[in-house]
């Protein structure tokens, strides 16, 4: 990764704000220190359930966003070291609890857990290569104008023959 860091410094913030500012200006990419994305796929718990049951209900921790198998924590200027330490403490406790419950599972529960993990970690169906709308469709405008029913019919009359010639 050294080729992406012209200064050769791995942790520029440790050298001070000037070093960090230089890194933001010159490095090929930098990590956003205010965002923490946690991959929870191997737990077998989906992001929304993990957020609600594990973090919010048990520990009162608010989460910015979730996906199928990730949880995003966002720190801001008011986040203290103690709140980050609490988050880490809670995540360690959750990990230990999950390990303990996995150790106590019966064979049937282990099989169900393996299926849940596979569901959360298996790749999604591939998305189509979407590069734009059909050229025959009218472009949308930033402002919506009210159109009369006649104007809508005229617009559709211009679009439908194009779509018949060039189906989507």
pLDDT at 165 over 70: no
**Mind listing the pLDDT tens digit for each residue in 119-146?**
998 887 777 776 666 665 556 554 555 5
Q: Please state the rounded mean pLDDT for residues 78-100.
A: 91
Per-residue pLDDT band for 117 (boundaries 50, 70, 90) equals: very high
CA distance 113 to 101: 11
Domain residue extents for the chain:
1-31, 35-121, 135-168
Single pTM value for the model: 0.58
């Amino acid at each position: 990764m050294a080729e992406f860091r012209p200064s050769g410094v791995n942790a520029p913030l440790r050298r001070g704000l000037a070093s960090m500012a230089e890194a933001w200006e010159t490095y090929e990419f930098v990590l956003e220190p205010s965002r923490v994305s946690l991959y929870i796929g191997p737990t077998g718990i989906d992001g929304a359930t993990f957020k609600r049951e594990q973090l919010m209900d048990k520990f009162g921790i608010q989460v910015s966003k979730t996906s199928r198998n990730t949880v995003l924590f966002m720190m801001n200027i008011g986040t203290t070291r103690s709140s980050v330490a609490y988050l880490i403490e809670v995540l360690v406790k959750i990990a230990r609890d999950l390990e303990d419950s996995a150790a106590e599972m019966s064979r049937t529960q282990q099989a169900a857990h393996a299926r849940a993990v596979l569901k959360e970690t298996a790749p999604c169906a591939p998305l189509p290569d979407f590069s734009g709308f059909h050229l025959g469709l009218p472009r949308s405008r930033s402002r919506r104008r009210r159109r009369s029913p006649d104007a809508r019919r005229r617009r559709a009359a211009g679009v439908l023959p194009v779509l018949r010639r060039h189906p989507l």
